[in-house]
Amino acid sequence: MPDRKAVAEYQAEKAVVRAFHDALDNSTPANIEQALAQFVSPDWHWRGMHPFHEQYGPEAVARVFWTPLRNALRPLQRRPDIFIAGRNAIDGGDSVWVTEMGHLMGLFERPWLGIRHTLRIVMLRYCEFNRVVDGKIVETAMFCDIPHLMMQAGQNPFPPQTGAMLVQPGPRTHTGLCYERQDPARGEATLAAIDAMLKNPGAKFHNKDEATRLARVWHDDMIWWGPAGIGATFTIERYVRQHSIPFDNALSAGYRFNGHIAKIAEGDFGGFFGWANLTLRNAGGYMGMTAGPAAADMRVIDMYRAQDGKLAENWIFIDILHYLAMQGLDVLKRMDAVQSGGG
């Protein structure tokens, strides 16, 4: 558990990330690299979803991700829903991470990654973990739901999903922006609720007993805000039917948990990310893929809201494009080929 005496340190790390976002949001495509360089280390390790993957240093991140995105969605407005900091439970509290989740909203003025521009408002879901050391960001995981943006542009790459496709709201309580110091005991309770879920994941929801087991760690009216391609579900019963059973039926073979890189909690909110958290094999049908012998990785971010000792809301980010690419389907290349008349 975090040292309560060290909680004040989080405010310094939060200030660095907030200043970083302010500089980034007020930069132009021409000076994004300079804005990044003020707040990150020269060897900054940045992890992004397919097709960005791992990048090092502000020049690479600006060139590969931020400059093209800012040229496509403009003006770009940051709309955060969760902002927390904490010591990493994975490394025994040695590192401090700051996490922000929300949407990047903009007018889709130019194509991005082959996704056609709509000239209308689009909302790009994102969640970013930043490790801060001595006033600099040294490591980042920046996940964004690219398939959800494709759907908003009328280019749905998937068969019908089991849940609902929504522009997802933030926490029901509207209390996710923890800019000020929080009671350490609440963060400890949130982390305990997340750990209870991880120890009792409720795999194989094919009978009433398993659904009952799930209810030990989740509220009955829980909300699971899944990524595009899977969708959102509401209540334990619908979560089991609309996500857990289809997921388990298709992906339980060869399932391997690889662990997480960072896991933090503050106030009623917490989450984790991995690279990759899971490795599993598609038995056929999931995301429209045929069965195959090759295992593929799922890079995942989970964010949670806890309430009264149980979990009430869960926002999921999965690098689905990378998962499919490892199975031989590059969704972005296929989409570009179709648009250019090559497929």
List, for residues 162-178, the tens digit of each pLDDT value: 888 889 999 999 999 99
What angle (nearest 5°) sits at the alpha carbon of residue 142, between those of residues 136 and 144?
155
Whether 174 maps to a domain, the answer reads: no
Whether 102 maps to a domain, the answer reads: yes
Whether 171 maps to a domain, the answer reads: no
Beta bridge partners of 265: 270
Q: Kindly state the tokens that stand for 97.
A: 């991470």
Cα–Cα distance between 130 and 39 in angstroms, integer?
A: 11
Cα–Cα distance between 19 and 179 in angstroms, integer?
A: 12
Beta bridge partners of 130: 98, 140
Beta bridge partners of 98: 85, 130
Whether 321 maps to a domain, the answer reads: yes
Q: Are residues 197 and 291 in the same domain?
A: yes
Whether 166 maps to a domain, the answer reads: no
Q: Are residues 193 and 333 in the same domain?
A: yes
Contact (CB, 8 A) for 137 and 130:
yes
Q: Are residues 229 and 126 in the same domain?
A: no
List, for residues 95-116, the tens digit of each pLDDT value: 999 999 999 999 999 999 999 9
Residue type present at position 30 = A
Q: Are residues 190 and 334 in the same domain?
A: yes
Q: Are residues 143 and 189 in the same domain?
A: no
CATH number for the domain spanning 44: value is 3.10.450.50
Contact (CB, 8 A) for 244 and 215:
no
Whether 177 maps to a domain, the answer reads: no
Residues 6+ apart with CB under 8 A from 85: 10, 13, 14, 17, 96, 97, 98, 99, 178, 264, 266
Q: Are residues 231 and 94 in the same domain?
A: no
Q: Are residues 54 and 146 in the same domain?
A: yes
Whether 178 maps to a domain, the answer reads: no
Number of neighbouring beta carbons within 10 Å of residue 150: 25
Burial of 336 per CB tally in 10 Å (0-12, 13-18, 19+)? middle
Q: Are residues 241 and 282 in the same domain?
A: yes
Cα–Cα distance between 321 and 334 in angstroms, integer?
A: 12
Q: Are residues 242 and 125 in the same domain?
A: no
Q: Kindly state the tokens that stand for 50.
A: 């397919």
Q: Are residues 334 and 195 in the same domain?
A: yes
Q: Are residues 148 and 189 in the same domain?
A: no
Whether 160 maps to a domain, the answer reads: no
Residue type present at position 239 = Y
Cα–Cα distance between 31 and 139 in angstroms, integer?
A: 21
Q: Are residues 102 and 211 in the same domain?
A: no
- Range(s) of the domain holding residue 128: 4-152
Per-residue pLDDT of the chain (343 residues; tens, 9 = 90+): 445 445 557 999 999 999 999 999 999 999 999 999 999 999 999 999 999 999 999 999 999 999 999 999 999 999 999 999 999 999 999 999 999 999 999 999 999 999 999 999 999 999 999 999 999 999 999 999 999 999 999 999 888 888 888 899 999 999 999 999 999 999 999 999 999 999 865 544 445 566 777 899 999 999 999 999 999 999 999 998 888 888 888 877 778 899 999 999 999 999 999 999 999 888 877 777 777 778 899 999 999 999 999 999 999 999 999 999 998 889 998 876 556 554 4
Cα–Cα distance between 62 and 127 in angstroms, integer?
A: 18
Total tally of structural domains belonging to the chain: 2
Name the DSSP letter for residue 288. G
